Structure 1
């Protein structure tokens, strides 16, 4: 018997599942990533259950029992998902057409080809069913394919293997690496939603940069994100340590460090983290902010890391040279946002995710630009958050990672500290004075039309925005001052 770690709320759910299947004389087994992670002592968000019988009918009945939402992932195979009401837990059901041992042998990787009776999992001690040697690989930290045929059976499986290795910090067994490389191009045949889910689960990991480099080594990165290939070998001005492609990977790795929830090991990365979070020690909700989901199952940190990978994707098509030989990338931020929007549409990201990424890429240079003459003014900070919306905080962290990706391993600590000081200043204004971000209304459009004889139109909107900017800057604070400002602006416009 092996002990497994199951959180109390998951154990309660396992008890309910055991009662549900037991009441229907059904055999049910804990399998897949849930059992693997429980054996490793890791928290498992989702449950994987193999069932004897009609998984579609059982899934619908279970969804009704738990008050969850039923989703047929693959009706022809009987793969279903129940999403529980709070959206935080999903239960995946798969059918067992023969014996559980035969079912497990058809799985893709040995460490996921493990099973245990659901009732034992609920009790916290399991007799593991292990027909492929997965326990030995789990103990050795190896990802090993059960067979190449298993990888061919589902085009997503090569990507999944790399994601598991990156997520767990495991090595991929040598022959399995070769199998994955041979099957890599077929990943593009998988449903876009499934590709996206694997990519974002990898980016949510603590060492996402290591994972993406692994994808590249195995030929998987080009299969999932072919748009990024144009950045390979694109040289940059001498202040850049890397070409565009490797700069993007370095920015992603910097985000792994900056968004870590504790100081990473190693003197260099540990100091980077302490410089940043020491300056932000007053921000109690900082780490929680990056943990929060943007959509179900995707924490904000994963989306920020995606931007680390994509923020300069517009550089290759905007690269020009001046007569002096100076290299320029005019408009690369806007162009990059368009390219990123296209690939995110292809992978079926939500509208909210696409908007956040577009705003981040468009504005990733602004934190540096608004600090060129010293600490950013309140007016500049207002404009920054007006442009970035809910992506503002994310953009500040992307800017730090962009800086680190530019200088490479030779960090100028004074320069980094100055950049951190800008981030601290902007965040302090963001949280200390709500008027800088969302000034209370002093005058309305109706007020301006009545007092200044205006009609609805662009000018009216411009005057209202001028008032809001002046409020954020601390230049007006009463309705009378706001009206006086509007009159001056109207006179300056010759009206």
Structure 2
């Protein structure tokens, strides 16, 4: 399609989907100011990815913006006004209006010295990528593209309005955003962008862990995170942010054949994403599952041992990997829930391989369910995704065996509440039967009865009492007469 036609179509489409933009532009025009739609809002309109949240820029200074929108907006907030941004809501839409910027950076932190600019071209030059440096003049209904963002969008190319070195020195987080856009949009970074990322990867250390984590999470939640992760690894950015991932690239020699753990983990991640959509219970993009899929084998490099005859073993890599995952996620400032959930999934991901062809007892099945707890649906998907063999017969057999395990879990659930395995006698009953006061011995007795419950399933009351009295006698506790 002719680019001029595409630009005009984008303007027309914007006005159709967002009459608020036209209405707001009229207010600014009446006050003698320009208003432009900018950034990701324009890019997404061009890509057919409409959004309720719109970003605008204007020559009006922040106080003038406040004067213009007051009485029109449903709500106004001034949290970002020091950086020239006024936020408003109108009819359920979030609108951010920022005065033209011409910032300078100290290139030690990522904090700019805020300077307001005078032209749209100057404002667009300071943006991260040319596909985000397009604007729509809302009053004139014209497309503004001084840095050839339309061509980059057509070619699905990530390039910068200024040089990449200038852009990344101003804000190193843009390197991670390049990886995120590679994942979210399927864009390919320009060679000069890749070169600058490789040369400047260490600059990411200037960015706080919280900001890094936010970008990494957005990348992982994309439909296809792999291109973004590969870009991070290939440029050395992952060595600074998530070194355990490039650390999985193990050398393979002719005598010790084994899967490349890094490539295997990327495949597991892809398969886990597919299972989010197909395996019950289906879910929206699941950050915990995706982190676990990516990190499930991070313990392998530290546990690799070469065996006589050319074999390779990774004994207890799930234990080591769980500790490594927990440490890294803490450093990235993830929430306690995410840290504990991901590390537990990494710890449990190998448990199924002891199931063999169904040799587990009901007791072992109960323990599997109990240890997984609320994570069980995710564990099902992770274990299934972890099958990456090219041998179709072997893959089908593994999936069939796991089907059998899930069926056994379902049957046991019909007989008993596996989600709430508790001893058949509670703490009060234990204290009454054994004549104990609250203390460690009550906890030990409770734990004994829970283990018995896991091993044998539900016991009737008399049987549970008899077993408790046997335990008490063995531990030197004399019940009251």
Kept in 2, the 8 Å contact 1:158–1:180? The answer is yes
Rg bigger for which structure? 2
The gaps in structure 2 that reach 5 residues or longer are 1-7, 101-116
Is the Cα contact below 8 Å between 1:114 and 1:129 reproduced in 2?
Answer: yes
Tell me, which stretches of 5 or more residues in structure 1 are unaligned? 121-125, 262-276, 292-298
Q: In structure 2, what is the Cα distance between the partners aligned to 1:187 and 1:235? A: 31
Kindly state the Cα deviation for residue 100 of structure 1 after the two structures are TM-superposed.
Answer: 2.4
Q: Residue 475 of structure 1 aligns with which residue?
A: 457
- Conservation of the 8 A alpha-carbon contact between 1:160 and 1:198: yes
Correspondence list, 1:141-290, <5 A: 141-148=156-163, 149-233=166-250, 241-259=258-276, 261=277, 277=278, 280=279, 283=280, 286-287=281-282, 289=283
Give runs of aligned pairs for residues 483-494 of structure 1, distance below 5 A. Answer: 483-491=465-473, 493=475
- Counterpart CA distance in 1 for 2:224 and 2:191 is 21
What is the CA–CA distance in structure 1 between the aligned matches of 2:159 and 2:151, rounded to whole Å? 11
Whether 2:322 is the aligned partner of 1:337: answer yes
Q: Which residue of 1 aligns with 2:49?
A: 42
1:33 to 40, 43, 52: 40
Output aligned runs, 1:439-454, within 5 Å.
Answer: 439=421, 443-454=425-436
Q: 1:90 to 1:217 in 2, by over 3 A?
A: farther
Match of 1:412 among 373, 394, 397: 394
Q: Give the root-mean-square deviation of aligned CA atoms.
A: 4.4
**Inter-partner Cα distance in structure 1 for 2:20 and 2:345:** 39
Q: Relative to 1, partners in 2 of residues 1:416 and 1:325: Cα closer, same or farther, differing over 3 Å?
A: closer
User: Structure 2 residue aligned with 1:2, among 5, 9, 20?
Assistant: 9
Cα shift at 1:374: 0.8
- Secondary structure of 2:245 counterpart: helix
Q: TM-score, normalised on structure 1?
A: 0.74
Change (3 A) 1:326 1:34: same
CA deviations 1:253-292 (Å, max 9, x no partner) are 3324433x3xxxxxxxxxxxxxxx4xx5xx3xx22x3x1x
CA gap 1:172/1:322 in 2 versus in 1, 3 angstroms: closer
Pairs within 5 Å for 1:343-358: 343-358=328-343
2:209·2:333 contact (CA, 8 Å) conserved in 1? yes
Q: Structure 2 length as normaliser, TM-score?
A: 0.76
Q: CA deviation at 1:111?
A: 0.9
Residue 136, structure 1, aligned to residue 151, structure 2: yes
Q: What SS does the aligned partner of 2:298 have?
A: coil
Partner of 2:129: 109
Q: For residues 255 and 140 of structure 1, what CA distance do their matches in structure 2 show?
A: 30
What is the DSSP-based 3-state SS (H/G/I as helix, E as strand, rest coil) of the residue aligned with 1:107?
coil
Answer whether contact 1:367 1:422 (CA < 8 A) is retained: no
Shift of 1:320: 4.1
User: Aligned pair count?
Assistant: 448
Distance across 1 between alignment mates of 2:250 and 2:126: 41
